[in-house]
Amino acid sequence: MIDMETLVSLCKRRGFVFPSSEIYGGMQAIYDYGHYGTLLKNNIRDAWWKDMVQYRDDVVGLDSAIFMHPTTWVASGHVGGFNDPQIDCRKCKNRFRADHILEGFGINADKAPLDEINAHLDRLRKEKKLKCRECGSPDLTAARIFSLMVKSNIGSPTDELKEENAVYLRPETCGGIYLEYKNTIDALHCKLPFGIAQVGKAFRNEIVARQFIFRTREFEQMEMQYFLHPDSMNKAYDMWKDTRWKWYREYGISEDEIRWYKHEKLAHYASEAYDVEYRFKALGEYKEVEGIHARGDWDLSQHSKHSGVDLSYFDEKTGERFIPHIAETSVGLNRLVLMFIDHAYTEEQAPTAGGKEETRVVLKFDKRLAPVKVAVLPLSKKEELQKPARDIWNTLKRLFIVEYDETQSIGKRYRRQDEIGTPYCVTVDFDSLEDNAVTVRDRDTMAQERIAIRELEAFFKEKYAM
């Protein structure tokens, strides 16, 4: 069994994820990505982009700015409406999400009004069931509304954060897609149905941000908005559910590790909402990783109304003019990093060089997602081995990320590569000087095979389907 602590410590020790600003004492719920974390995150992002944009002729890309005109968030309902109910412990000063506390009692209060939440809390208080999760004290405040919007004063002449000067850091990336919907159609002549996809940062002043990179205040989303005629919503919605489900399966997540969660309480404009939930080994439960929503014509209607710009679509074939409806897929990139690490984490018993057994930690990533594709390891630091090993590294590095490592014993180097999930290690030994061949070790089976140096490039091209 693994727990979150194991993953957090592996991520730090091996350079995947670091707590931000650690030398100044850290910042809650903000994280930095080290070398391997960055490579893994980029690979996940590329795998999404390939499937959502590159392999399709009905989705185009976008990279919109984080800052947008302040009216954007009034039109979308976020200003004044993007809140979570917060509750504080008067004793230990910890802060919780009231809907999460109710969830612990089997009460679904997702999107419920504050009155309803407080009524549930009062009842639990009377029944003496309401206690602080951290310190056990019954002295908890009533639930209050807490805005998730993060403010900035960009462009304002004073350093004061006055309400009228406030601009917001986007709480979701799709806002930029709605604002660039018209420019995209005008420039690229897209015909319905079509989608716009983008990957970028989003910011939310989350009340409780624990569980490592699962919920943070700065994170990345990968979102796609599919614009369509309302009559084609059902078909398109099913197509996107199917497409996204297959993507998880394609990258090694099995049928029993993911499931659909159907939202019963919907936002007033939505007609359907499902989440993909993944069963995190380190959390021991299913948690949302992605949302797929049928959003009606709410977004474009609102931006049309607030901007005064006509965002309707004219269908030349039918002569019909209407505001397109939207099917959305929205997934957190950082949450997927955690999902794939959680999924890949394996502990096995393996023989040591001395004939004993030891626990081997391996991240069994899908090869395409692995941060480093091949490690080149000369058996010793002797110059005669360094030269051919460097030559191999120089050849392979043009194909993908390859690491050259000559420190420590070969056993330790294998363990290190296992822990960062490198699918293949190439070892250059003294026999290599005679037979011009190297040993290639497979991460998962630990099987070793001898491959001629001149065939290495073709060997890995085949392994990586290049």
* Residues of this chain that bind ligand ATP (CB under 6 A): 172, 204, 206, 215-216, 219, 221, 288-291, 330-332, 334-335
CB of 303 to ligand ATP, least distance (A): 18
82 or 464: CB nearest ligand ATP? 82
Report angle CA 357, 361, 364 to the nearest 5 degrees.
125
Report, in Å, the least distance between residue 204 CB and ligand ATP.
5
Of 172 and 342, nearer to ligand ATP (C-beta) is 172
Residue 330 or 439: which CB sits closer to ligand ATP?
330
If you search the block for the tokens 């398109």, which residue do you land on?
236
The β-bridge partners of 361 are: 347
| Smallest distance, ligand ATP to C-beta of residue 81, A | 13
User: What phi and psi, each to the nearest 5 degrees, are found at residue 171?
Assistant: -85, -10
DSSP secondary structure code for residue 67 in this structure? B
Number of residue whose CB is nearest ligand ATP: 332
Q: Which two tokens stand for residue 317?
A: 């074939």
Check residue 319 and give left, alpha or beta (phi > 0: left; psi -120 to 50: alpha). left
Q: Which of 460, 454, 465 is nearest to 398 (CA)?
A: 460
Q: How far is the CB of 289 from ligand ATP (least distance, A)?
A: 5
Instruction: Return the DSSP state at 213.
Output: G
Helix (H) or strand (E) holding 212: none
Residue 281 to residue 7: CA distance in whole angstroms: 10
Q: How far is the CB of 94 from ligand ATP (least distance, A)?
A: 18
Closer residue to ligand ATP (CB): 78 or 441: 78
List the structure tokens of 200. Answer: 């970028």
Comparison of 4 and 372: residue with beta carbon closer to ligand ATP = 4
- Least distance CB 21 / ligand ATP (angstroms): 18
Q: Residue 76 or 432: which CB sits closer to ligand ATP?
A: 76
CA angle 56, 325, 151 (to 5 degrees): 95
